[in-house]
Amino acid sequence: MTGRRDFLIGSLVAAGLAGCAGVSGGRQKGGGKGILFGACRSSIEDVKIMRDLGYDFWEWSAGAAFDPNKDDTWWQTQKEEIAKRPLPLRSCNGFIPGKFRLTGPNADHAPALDYAEKVLRRADEIGVKTVVFGSGGARNVPGDFTGKDRPDLEKGTRQYAEFCHALVKRVADLKTTAVVIEPLRPNESNIINYVFQGLAICRDVDSPRLRQLADIFHMMMGGDPATAIIEAGPFLAHCHIADYGTRQFPGHDPRETRRLAPYFDALKTIGYTGGVSCECGWGDSKDFAKNAKTAIETMKGLV
- The reported pLDDT for the residue numbered 75 is 98
Whether 71 shows a pLDDT value over 50: the answer reads yes
- The reported pLDDT for the residue numbered 146 is 58
Sequence spans of domains, the chain:
2-14+28-300
pTM strictly above 0.85: yes
Q: Which fold has domain 2-14+28-300?
A: TIM Barrel (3.20.20)
Q: Does residue 205 contact residue 146 with C-beta atoms inside 8 Å?
A: no
Average pLDDT over residues 273-289: 97
| Nearest CA-CA partner of 137 in 102, 87, 173, 89 | 102
- The reported pLDDT for the residue numbered 23 is 33
Average pLDDT over residues 145-162: 85
Phi first, then psi: give them for residue 91, nearest 5 degrees.
Answer: -145, 155
Average pLDDT over residues 219-234: 97
Question: For 244-278, what is each residue's pLDDT tens digit?
Answer: 999 999 999 999 999 999 999 999 999 999 999 99
Helices (H), the chain: 2-18, 44-53, 62-66, 72-83, 109-125, 136-139, 153-170, 195-205, 216-222, 227-232, 261-269, 288-300
Cα angle 140-142-147, degrees, rounded to a multiple of 5: 130
